[in-house]
Every structure is written in C-alpha cells, then in structure tokens.
C-alpha cells in the first residue's frame, strides 16, 4: 500500500486576547492511496483546522505532516505551495473559484500552477460532473450545486494524489449530493486518497472509514 498522507502529533492553538483555543490536541492520521475517509464531529471540533494543516494552508504548532513522502509542515510558504500544487486538490468551505475567471479558466489556472495543463482532463472532468454546458460560465452565474461541483472540478484538474474537501455537500440539494458522492467514490477507486469533512450521514456511509473528531482529538 502506498502512504499518501502521514500526520503525527498535530497541535494547533488560536489566540485572541487572553484566550487560547486548543483546536487540535495531538492528532495522528495516515491515508493510503485509494482510501476514502470521512472526518466527522460537531461544529468547532477542529475539522477545518485539521484539513488546513494537512493541506499546508496552515502550519501546526506541533507535530508534522508529510504528503507523498515530502514534509509539508513548518516549511516556507513557497515550498508548501509547490507541494500543494503537485500533490493536493482542495475544496475548502468557502469555495475555491476565482470570480473573474470562467469555470474552465479556473481549472486551467490550477493546472498551470501544477505544471499539468491538459484540455482533455478539463473536458473529461466537466462532462463527468455534468458541467459540460457551464464550462464558460463565471462563478457568479452558477447555482449552489453547480458551484460545489465546479469547485471539485478545479480541485481535481491537476490530478492530485490527495483530495481534501471541507463539507462539499453542505450547500447542495439531494441530487447534487449524490453526484458529488459518486465522483468522490470514483476518485478513490482510481487511487486518489480522499478525505472529506462532513455532517452528511449519506456521504459518510459511502466512505470506507469514518474518523470522529471531538474537541481537537480523534475519538477511539
């Protein structure tokens, strides 16, 4: 089995005024190629913080993260950005589309950053996501369900080894939820390690493993 992600002993603290919040308190997590994992837990349990640390968008205060054998934690931002572009697709809670670019140009930008420009991949992904007719739409012209799928299309454009999604079905109707679940499943079957924070039981049931986070710790 190929280990795609290895994280150990992750701690993360937020400070505001005199208050300190321990958002992560010693999290260990590893993901193999082709795995499909749901991260569940109440609001405020640390899911988004964990995903951001795993993706190298944020730096843990303790512990380490490596992706495809390269350490991404506590590295200068340009180094993290390079590893992210090469290996990680991300769909964050607030979306990942640039407003002034069409869906297909958003995808192309992501591919160019990763050095993997491919029109065929863009067309394939848009077709599979039922967005073929929306390729040239601007993000503001998309419905909620289309936005979520377009965000996924962008995350998947550079063919990442690791796909991280923060509540990808939170804003979509039941049909779009099924489409997204199907696509995530398909990605894991193709060998991508897929990790999804979610409150959806339907989505969790489709995964192979459910990890529960509570107050910054993984529950046994």
What does the binding site for ligand ADP look like in residue numbers (CB under 6 A)? 14, 16, 21, 23, 41, 43-49
Q: How far apart are CA 154 and CA 190, in angstroms?
A: 17
CB of 57 or CB of 131, closer to ligand ADP: 57
> Which residue, 47 or 82, has its beta carbon nearer to Mg ion?
47
Closest to ligand ADP by CB, 23 vs 162, is 23
Q: How many residues bind Mg ion, per CB under 5 A? A: 2
- Rounded CA gap, 131 and 147, in Å? 10
* Cα angle: 170, vertex 202, 217; to 5 degrees: 75
Q: Does 48 bind Mg ion (CB under 5 A)?
A: yes
Least distance from C-beta 48 to ligand ADP, angstroms? 3
Rounded to a whole number of angstroms, the minimum distance from the CB of residue 100 to ligand ADP is 27
- CA-CA distances (angstroms) from residue 115 to 3, 27, 65, 106, 112? 23, 32, 23, 14, 5
The phi-psi region of residue 161 (left if phi > 0; otherwise alpha if psi is between -120 and 50; otherwise beta) is: alpha
Distance of alpha carbon 153 from alpha carbon 131, whole angstroms? 9
39 versus 67: smaller Cβ distance to ligand ADP: 39
Which 110-139 positions form the footprint of Mg ion (CB under 5 A)? none
- What is the b/e burial string over 11-28, where b = at least 16 CB atoms within 10 angstroms of the residue's CB? bbeeeeeeeeeebbbebe
**Smallest distance from the beta carbon of 78 to ligand ADP, in angstroms?**
23
Q: Which does 89 bind (CB under 5 to 8 A by kind): ligand ADP, Mg ion, none?
A: none
What residue ranges bind Mg ion (CB under 5 A)?
Answer: 47-48
């Amino acid at each position: 089995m190929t280990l795609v992600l290895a994280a150990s002993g992750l701690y993360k603290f937020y400070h505001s005024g005199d208050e300190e919040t321990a958002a992560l308190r010693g999290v260990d997590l590893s993901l193999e190629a082709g795995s499909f994992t749901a991260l569940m837990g109440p609001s405020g349990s640390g899911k988004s913080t964990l995903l951001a640390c795993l993706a190298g968008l944020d730096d843990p205060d303790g512990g380490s993260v490596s992706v495809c054998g390269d350490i991404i934690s506590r590295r200068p931002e340009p180094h993290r950005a390079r590893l992210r572009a090469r290996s990680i697709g991300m769909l964050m809670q607030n979306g990942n589309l640039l407003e002034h670019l069409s869906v297909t140009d958003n995808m192309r930008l992501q591919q160019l950053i990763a050095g993997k420009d491919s029109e065929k991949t863009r067309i394939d992904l848009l077709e599979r996501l039922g967005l073929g007719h929306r390729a040239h739409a601007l993000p503001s012209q998309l419905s909620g369900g289309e936005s979520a799928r377009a965000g996924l299309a962008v995350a998947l454009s550079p063919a990442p080894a690791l796909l991280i999604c923060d509540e990808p079905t939170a804003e979509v109707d039941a049909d779009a939820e099924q489409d997204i679940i199907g696509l995530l499943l398909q990605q894991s079957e193709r060998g991508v390690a897929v990790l999804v924070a979610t409150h959806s039981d339907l989505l969790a049931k489709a995964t192979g493993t459910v990890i529960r986070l509570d107050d910054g710790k993984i529950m046994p």
